[in-house]
A and B are shown apart, each in its own frame.
Chain A
Amino acid sequence: MLVVACIKQVPDTTQVQIDPVTNTLIREGIPFIMNPYDTHALEEALRLKDRYGCRVAVLSMGPPNAEMTLRKALSVGVDRVILLSDRCFGGADTLATSNVLAAAIHKLAQEEEVPLVICGKQTIDGDTAQVGPGIATRLGYTQLTLVDKIVDLDLVAGKIRVSRKLEGRHEIVESPLPSLLTVVREMNRPRYPTVPIRLAAEVAPVELWNNEVLQLDLQSVGLKGSPTWVKKIFSPERDKGEIIGDGIGDPAGTVNLLVEKLLGKDLLEL
């Protein structure tokens, strides 16, 4: 039995700045990291491995240098990592990306049962939250998004019950397997790699699957398979901030000033 986690290598956007002239991301000197949401997906897969003894495979579509991030996955103890990389996969939007990932999972499922696929709820560079659902649709898996907890998993009966974290409430959903989960940060605390596994990861293989392996129609992958593309990236203009009143010397007066200001902008109702 194989649990698959999908991850993406992203620039650490907390450090990304936008070039004011060209309106593009300045990527120079920005480290690449594993998409933070995906680290929780990976951790959950590993917990299932610890608990049920299933195997864990990690997939990532990206350029060759994404191998580095896949090695991070190896260093926490996954059994198999596969990099889906080919020139023709480049420039993909979420649809084309889901095509490639779904094809890879489909291929894995031919060797070994894949009852669960786990993804982060979204990436921090694209923020679409579409790839997980896209994969589920293509594989015909039930899709359980925004999961913050697996309440119950019965691999024999083929059932899963999860808690979904929605705004202001939780929803408990039950579904037959196979399923695809997209997870939120509250799911777990990703583990820290131990040295023996880390050392083993340094020499473990990262499998490379290109389109010769996946045999996808070139019209369904990469730029050609992408109906959407990014036209422009920019930072929205923001009003300059100001300091009002004297919060330490006159807290009450300052609150009054603030309330007036908010009322004036229609941001507060009395």
Chain B
Amino acid sequence: MEATRELYWNIGHGASILIPMYLFTFVALGLLIRSGLQRLSIYRQGKPLNRTDRRDERILGLIKNVLLQSRVLLVKGPGIAHALFFWGFALLFLGTILVAAQADFTEFLFGFRFLYGNLYRIFSVTLDLAGLVAIVMLLGLYVRRYLVRPEGLESSRDDAVMHGILFAILITGYVIEGARMAVTELPDNMALAVWSPVGLVMAKLLAGMGESTLRHLHQGLWWLHFFLVIGFICAIPFTKFRHIFTTSANYFFADLGPKGALVTMDMEGDAESFGAATIKDLTWKDIFDTDACTKCKRCQDRCPAHNTEKPLSPMKVINQLGEVACGTPEANLIETVGKDAIWSCTTCRACQEICPASIEHVGKIVEMRRNLVLMEGEFPGDEVMTAMENAEVNGNPLGMAFASRGDWAEGLPVVRLADDADVDILYFVGCYASFDKRNIKVATSFVRLCQAAGVRVGILGKEEKCCGEPIRKLGNEYLYQSLATENIETIKGYGVKKVVTACPHCFNTLAKDYRDLGFDLEVEHYTVFLNRLQQEGKLKLKADSFDCTYHDSCYLGRHNDLYQEPRALVAAGGGTIREMEKSRAESFCCGAGGGRIIAEEKLGSRISGSRARMAAATGSGILVSNCPFCLTMFEDGIKGADLEGQLIPRDIAEILVERLAG
């Protein structure tokens, strides 16, 4: 007997079946397309933005993230369940297409069949198991959502509808298969039946019902199954099922970097408004993002502000913007989201890095900040306004005399470029390492390490200004651009080849943000620079073993994917790192990013304290970091969390300088 089955068995294949079937299908697809097109008008409220360049890369990203579920799988548990469910359901969908393709087209028109023999056996067993995997995974997700109920996971009508329809489709599918097999395979074709193991079990359960009951059951359920699928298609635009299309499309439209670079505003043009106050001030992609969100709360779980009882949830921000875009387009975004939420963000990027839908949270928050600062002159507190005024007058937010910026380097093997521009590197020192006592130690260590490696170091001294990073992240694009332009002109004037920074914020700003303002020199963070010198044998260290834990700063880690070089340096110094639970891409912010370093932390508990406790929990006694902001925060956080004596914060450079060989 040939290994195959009669397609449309018990249903019939005449016009009376095919015409209504295809009619319903096309109407459903028509409705889907119509609702999709209607939704375009919602996205069109936003400003233009080109996200169709670099197509090859975009298509690759789309394929990778849809078919391989790469971003979904960033989180194991529910990520694996989603991916397996997706693969199972996608196979069933593909199977249905193949059945229709043969029965209604190739065989119908040309008498060509392919679903027989071994191909049919593989087809049968694949679909049969795919369905099982899908059901089990869906069940798992159901248990998680409705019984385990993880904190912060909100279940709405959408979720109930989605679980209901999907379960019903899968279960009816098996009963239909079982009923058919009970009639056609169970009696005399067991050799084929074993290729549908789940169907076989179902068939055995149903076998006692008698053929005519089975045929009725089969026919009734077949149509129910069909209408469930039609219902599923129609529900897509009105439920979270939408994400099948919007999230997939969002992979194509994703931000291709440079990671974390903000849009450089045109401050000279004739714009009347700056930043985002209404939905029209955002781009179409910002609005599209809100439609791609599946409310999985992964972003919220990782948000340092949310985790320290501040009124910010990146998920909520996205959803609120979505509600405005769809329902109340005149509403003021800042009032909707709330100023406290907007100011609480540390731009740590934890939300964006983990979001399975490639949503961009940070840019939206910064756009709202820009509106507050540039249009209203508003800041999270007077201390921030003072810092801005200081930066404007003295080139640093700390209010230190600008002429004393280079004083820390007195007596060190460093030249000011104004005196001698023949150097190997320009060390862009940054404000904290220039003025803050604790961080001057780091700067000094770095210079000594360079000296030991035979590198001639130059600084700008009093000609250097704040790189503008905290100022920019707090929304003050005007002041940022004026500081940046001055720095760029100064640096370019000296014809240096390479800039090294010890601050990840300066690094990220000079290496990425300054590009838009015409800066094109090579910029490196000192950990990368020193690591290379060490590997080339120019920087000789003697390992002196110690135990520590290592904090990945947001701007070296998530913003620049530099996880290995600093660890290699710690190891070269003899350090053994006991990793914190949240490390690398999952690292937990120190609380200073997003300009929060110059703002008081008035809401919730201290982020730095939370991180200090995580570090202390490793029991290693030394908290190593690579950023002046982190170091400043940890000095405070350790005191605040009563961990003095248990944990010492240190910068990598300080540790290495103690281990210089010879």
Contacts and interface: CB of A to CB of B under 8 A. Distances in A.
A25 interface: no
Given A12-B393, A29-B403, A195 B385 contact: no
Interface string A19-31: 0000000001111
B538 to A, nearest CB: 37
Contact of B402 (A31, A193, A198): A31
Q: Which of A14, A192, A199 has the most CB of B within 10 A?
A: A192
B629 interface: no
Contacts of A30: 401, 403
B375 A194 contact: yes
Interface in A189-218: 189, 191-196, 198-199
Contacts of B274: 195-196
A139 interface: no
Given A12-B393, A29-B402, A29-B403, A195 B478 contact: yes
A33 interface: yes
A196 B375 contact: yes
Nearest to B265: A195
A15 B401 contact: yes
B210 interface: no
A15 B388 contact: no
A33 B394 CA distance: 10
Contact of A195 (B374, B402, B403): B374
A261 B632 CA distance: 37
B308 to A, nearest CB: 28
Contact of A192 (B268, B388, B402): B388
A206 to B, nearest CB: 19
Contact of B385 (A12, A192, A196): A192
A193 B267 CA distance: 14
Interface string B388-415: 1100011000010111000000000000
Interface stretch (B310-318, B376-384, B510-518): B376-384
Nearest to A15: B401
B388 A31 contact: no
Contacts of A189: 382, 385
Nearest to B385: A192
A114 B185 CA distance: 103
Contact of B462 (A29, A192, A194, A198): A29
A33 to B, nearest CB: 6
A28 B403 CA distance: 9
Contacts of B462: 29
A59 B19 CA distance: 86
B439 to A, nearest CB: 21
A199 B267 CA distance: 9
B536 interface: no
Contacts of A14: 399, 401
Contact of B394 (A31, A192, A194, A195): A31
Contacts of B272: 196
Nearest to A12: B393
Contacts, number: 45
Contacts of B401: 12, 14-15, 29-30
Interface residues of B, number: 23
B274 to A, nearest CB: 6
B267 A195 contact: yes
Interface residues of A, number: 17
Label chain A's interface by main secondary structure: loop
A162 B210 CA distance: 100
Interface string B353-397: 000000000000000000001111111001001001100011000
Contacts of B373: 192
Given A15-B401, A29-B462, A31-B402, A195 B375 contact: yes
A14 B394 CA distance: 12
Given A31-B394, A33-B393, A189-B382, A194 B377 contact: yes
A159 B274 CA distance: 41
A30 B388 CA distance: 18
A112 to B, nearest CB: 28
B346 to A, nearest CB: 22
Nearest to B404: A15
A31 B392 CA distance: 10
Contacts of B376: 194
Given A15-B403, A29-B462, A193 B375 contact: no
Q: Which of A15, A33, A189 has the most CB of B within 10 A?
A: A15
A191 B378 CA distance: 8
A12 B382 CA distance: 20
A15 B405 CA distance: 12
Contacts of A12: 393-394, 401
Given A29-B402, A192-B388, A193-B377, A198 B478 contact: yes
B403 A194 contact: no
B403 A192 contact: no
Interface string B445-473: 00000000000000000100000000000
Interface in B584-610: none
Q: Which of A29, A194, A195, A198 has the most CB of B within 10 A?
A: A195
A31 B377 contact: no
A191 B377 CA distance: 7
B466 to A, nearest CB: 14
Contacts of A199: 267-268
Nearest to B275: A195
Nearest to A29: B403
B375 A31 contact: no
A33 B402 CA distance: 13
Interface in A7-59: 12, 14-15, 28-31, 33
A195 B373 CA distance: 8
A29 B403 CA distance: 6
Interface string B567-583: 00000000000000000
A30 B402 CA distance: 8
Q: Which 3 A-B pairs have the closest CB atoms?
A: A29-B403, A192-B377, A15-B401
22 contacts: A12-B393, A12-B394, A14-B401, A15-B401, A29-B402, A29-B462, A30-B401, A30-B403, A31-B393, A33-B393, A189-B385, A192-B373, A192-B377, A192-B385, A194-B374, A194-B376, A194-B377, A195-B274, A195-B374, A195-B375, A196-B274, A198-B478
Interface of B: 267-268, 272, 274, 373-379, 382, 385, 388-389, 393-394, 399, 401-403, 462, 478
Given A15-B403, A195-B478, 15 more contacts: A12-B393, A15-B394, A15-B401, A30-B401, A30-B403, A31-B393, A31-B402, A192-B377, A192-B378, A192-B379, A192-B385, A192-B388, A194-B376, A195-B375, A196-B272
Interface of A: 12, 14-15, 28-31, 33, 189, 191-196, 198-199
